[in-house]
Amino acid sequence: MSDDPKYNAARAALDFIADGMIVGLGTGSTSAHFVRLLGERVKQGLKVKGVPTSEATRNLAEQVGVPLLEISQITSIDVDVDGADEVDPAFRLIKGGGGALLREKIVAAASKRMVVIADTSKWVETLGAFPLPIEVTRFGFALTAQRIHAALRETGCVGDEVVLRVAGKANEPVITDGGNYIIDAHAKSIRDPDALGAALSRIAGVVEHGLFLGLAQTVILGNASGAEVKSL
What letters, b where the CB count within 10 A reaches 16 and e where it falls short, cover 131-140? Answer: bbbbbbeeee
x-or-dash string of contact with ligand 5RP, 131-170, rule CB under 6 A: ----------------------------------------
Interacting residue with ligand 5RP among 17, 84, 107, 134 (CB under 6 A): 84
Interacting residue with ligand 5RP among 29, 120, 137, 217 (CB under 6 A): 29
Question: Which is closer to ligand 5RP, CB of 85 or CB of 150?
Answer: 85
- H or E segment at 79? strand 77-82
Phi, psi for 228 (deg, rounded to 5): -105, 130
Interacting residue with ligand 5RP among 39, 79, 85, 215 (CB under 6 A): 85
Which residues does 204 contact at the CB level (< 8 Å), separation at least 6? 140, 144
Interacting residue with ligand 5RP among 5, 39, 50, 98 (CB under 6 A): 98
Question: Which is closer to ligand 5RP, CB of 150 or CB of 173?
Answer: 173
DSSP 206: E
Interacting residue with ligand 5RP among 24, 99, 128, 205 (CB under 6 A): 99
For position 25 contacting ligand 5RP by CB under 6 A, the verdict is no
- Cβ contact 117:220 at 8 Å: yes
- Cβ contact 28:58 at 8 Å: no
CA distance 104 to 112: 14
Interacting residue with ligand 5RP among 80, 82, 135, 208 (CB under 6 A): 82
Q: How far is the CB of 101 from ligand 5RP (least distance, A)?
A: 5
Catalytically annotated residue among 104, 125, 154, 161: 104
For position 27 contacting ligand 5RP by CB under 6 A, the verdict is yes
Judged by DSSP in three states, 129 sits in: coil
For position 30 contacting ligand 5RP by CB under 6 A, the verdict is yes
CA distance 9 to 226: 7
205: left (phi over 0), alpha (psi -120 to 50) or beta: left
CA distance 105 to 91: 15
Active site residue 104: yes
Enzyme catalytic residues: 104
Q: Which residues bind ligand 5RP (CB under 6 A)?
A: 26-31, 82-85, 95-101, 104
